[in-house]
């Protein structure tokens, strides 16, 4: 449906000129020399489905100024857009109109192209706002925010829907970047705790003492630097959900406290003698193999069994290639709307490039790359040249594959996932000369995660002989 425009100017020749020129552009135009009549028409249009989208009005009119018309028209329809026309000498008045809600102004004498451009800007702004509203609505609709067309993922989402309204503890498994936190938020928003808080903490990002304080709180004077009482995240999440991300990175001390919380629904702040009851639904997430960690003694078996009541495993992006295009289009639309710019699209050869890449950083890596491409791409199409690092990564993966193939030939054993990850991280670090920020960017993970993996796999930069 075309934009419906009302032109108001006390000069009939200007009204007729604007009506003819805008009608040629395909707009539905009504012109009036009386501001009072224009207000009555606007009022009457509110009762029908044929409302006006835009008013283009002169500022200096005898019976009512453009500023007054703007104010009264906005009281009739707050969503109505306004463009004011003014002589050069009264630009200050036009600026006042902008402060009161006008979208733009043009100075007389003007070229009709200036008016057309201003109208186009309004149309583009409306389109972006509409898409933004749709995206916000989509993201607030629980599992609709977890975008996938993969049959396995759809089964996972059905399971998540079934368990959402219970208080059952959920363990979400999967590689870094597959969407464990997104799924956790979706479960929370679909649960009967949706009106309560959702709090997420990365257990691997904090040292043990700080993590304990963050989770359980502390009392004043309980340790050096505890200058006042601090509420823990379990208390803050009371009545809602807490996501313990990277649960496999926690120490044995923290694991004991978490086990008690799960069993008794109580916490004890550091330095306190009294326990507090909390009503919190726990979702834990990890990219580690907790069963292996239980066997080697680094993770408590009793905590594992408490967490593993309802396990959900999200497959990596490379195992659901049909989701790549779906997610790519979703992220492009989302970031274009967020930046309030015209929507861009992927060129065909770009799609092919995205499909052939293995995405070690999964969905997070795909989104980060597309966000950057949306910012940097000058045209309407996102080209392969907007992803220069993908070619380098493909070479890296092939090289890593060659290394692992050699290992298999030598040992006769297939490497497990941790061995593959360790080999790839070491290879990328070597290629970047151990520049960790650069290596993390190539791997599609944040720098703190890379530091943890270096420590976990005991990776060391080779010494150079003197």
Q: Closest Cα to residue 322, out of 282, 299, 354?
A: 354
Fold of 321-386: Helicase, Ruva Protein; domain 3 (1.10.8)
Give the pLDDT confidence score for residue 244 in this predicted structure.
97
Domains 4-122 and 142-313 share a fold: yes
Element (H, E) at 266: strand 266-267
189: number of Cβ within 10 Å: 20
Is domain 4-122 in CATH 3.40.640.10, yes or no? no
Dihedral of CA atoms 284, 289, 421, 152 in degrees, nearest 10, equals -70
Locate all alpha helices (DSSP H) within 194-242, ordered by sequence: 208-216, 233-236
341 in Cβ contact with 382 (< 8 Å)? no
Strand intervals (E) in 23-135:
28-32, 54-58, 81-87, 104-108
Element (H, E) at 127: helix 112-139
Hey, is 89 helix, strand or coil? helix
Q: 142-313 has which CATH code?
A: 3.40.50.300
Buried-exposed string 110-147: b where 16+ CB fall within 10 A, e elsewhere: eeeeebeebbeebeeeeebeebbeebeeeeeebbebbb
Give the pLDDT confidence score for residue 412 in this predicted structure.
56
Rounded Cα distance, 196 and 240, in Å: 4
Q: Closest Cα to residue 180, out of 200, 205, 164?
A: 200
Rounded Cα distance, 292 and 313, in Å: 16
Hey, is 28 helix, strand or coil? strand
CA distances from 386 to 172, 228, 368, 377, 383 (A): 33, 50, 13, 7, 5
457 in Cβ contact with 450 (< 8 Å)? no
Rounded Cα distance, 295 and 421, in Å: 20
Give the pLDDT confidence score for residue 133 in this predicted structure.
56
Report the relative pairing of strands 217-218 and 230-231 from DSSP bridges.
Answer: antiparallel
243 in Cβ contact with 198 (< 8 Å)? yes
Q: For tokens 């003694």, name the residue.
A: 297
Query: Residue 109, preceding bond cis, omega within 30 degrees?
Result: yes
Give the pLDDT confidence score for residue 79 in this predicted structure.
83
> How is the chain split into domains, by residue range?
4-122, 142-313, 321-386, 391-457
Q: Please identify every stretch of the chain with a pLDDT value under 50, giving residue numbers as ranges.
A: 137-141, 391-399, 401, 465-466
Give the pLDDT confidence score for residue 394 in this predicted structure.
45
Element (H, E) at 202: strand 198-202
Structure confidence by residue, pLDDT tens digits, 344-371: 999 888 888 888 888 989 999 999 999 9
Give the pLDDT confidence score for residue 395 in this predicted structure.
42
Taking only Cα atoms into account, the Rg of the chain, rounded to an integer number of angstroms, comes to 30
26: number of Cβ within 10 Å: 8
Locate all alpha helices (DSSP H) within 191-316, ordered by sequence: 208-216, 233-236, 252-264, 290-295, 301-307
Structure confidence by residue, pLDDT tens digits, 241-284: 999 999 999 999 999 999 999 999 999 999 998 889 999 999 99
Locate all alpha helices (DSSP H) within 377-435, ordered by sequence: 388-411, 417-431
């Amino acid at each position: 449906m075309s934009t419906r425009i009302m032109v108001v100017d006390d000069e009939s020749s200007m009204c007729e000129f604007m009506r003819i020129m805008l009608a040629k552009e395909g707009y539905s135009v009504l012109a009036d020399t009386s501001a009072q009549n224009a207000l009555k028409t606007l009022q009457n249009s509110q009762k029908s489905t044929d409302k006006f989208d835009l008013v283009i009005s002169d500022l200096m009119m005898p019976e009512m100024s453009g500023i007054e018309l703007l104010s009264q028209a906005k009281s009739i329809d707050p969503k109505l857009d306004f463009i004011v026309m003014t002589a050069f000498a009264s630009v200050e008045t036009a600026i006042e109109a902008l402060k009161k809600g006008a979208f733009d102004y043009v100075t007389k004498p003007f070229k009709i192209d200036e008016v057309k451009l201003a109208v186009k800007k309004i149309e583009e702004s409306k389109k972006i706002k509409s898409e933004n509203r749709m995206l916000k609505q989509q993201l607030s609709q629980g599992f609709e925010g977890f975008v996938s067309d993969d049959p396995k993922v759809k089964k996972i989402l059905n399971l998540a829907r079934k368990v959402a309204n219970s208080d059952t503890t959920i363990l979400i498994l999967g590689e870094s970047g597959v969407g464990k936190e997104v799924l956790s938020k979706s479960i929370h928003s679909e649960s009967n705790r949706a009106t309560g808080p959702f709090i997420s903490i990365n257990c691997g990002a904090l040292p043990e003492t700080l993590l304990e304080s963050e989770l359980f709180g502390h009392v004043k004077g309980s340790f050096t630097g505890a200058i006042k009482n601090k509420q823990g995240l379990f208390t803050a999440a009371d009545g809602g959900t807490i996501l313990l991300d990277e649960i496999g990175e926690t120490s044995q001390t923290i694991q004991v406290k978490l086990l008690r919380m799960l069993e008794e629904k109580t916490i004890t702040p550091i330095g306190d003698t009294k326990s507090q009851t909390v009503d919190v639904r726990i979702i834990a997430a990890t990219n580690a193999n907790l069963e292996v960690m239980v066997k080697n003694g680094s993770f408590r078996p009793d905590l594992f069994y408490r967490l593993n009541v309802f396990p959900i495993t999200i497959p990596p992006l490379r195992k659901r290639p049909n989701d790549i295009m779906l997610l790519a289009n979703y992220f492009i639309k989302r970031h274009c709307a967020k930046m309030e710019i015209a929507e861009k699209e992927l060129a065909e050869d770009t799609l092919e490039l995205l499909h052939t890449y293995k995405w070690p950083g999964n969905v997070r890596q795909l989104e980060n790359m597309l966000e950057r491409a949306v910012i940097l791409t000058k045209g309407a199409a996102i080209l392969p040249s907007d992803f220069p690092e993908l070619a380098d990564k493909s070479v890296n993966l092939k090289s890593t594959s060659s290394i692992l193939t050699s290992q298999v030939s030598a040992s006769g054993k297939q490497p497990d996932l941790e061995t593959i990850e360790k080999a790839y991280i070491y290879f990328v670090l070597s290629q970047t000369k151990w520049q960790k920020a650069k290596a993390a960017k190539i791997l599609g993970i944040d720098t703190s995660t890379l530091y943890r993996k270096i420590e976990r796999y005991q990776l060391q930069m080779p010494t150079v002989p003197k």
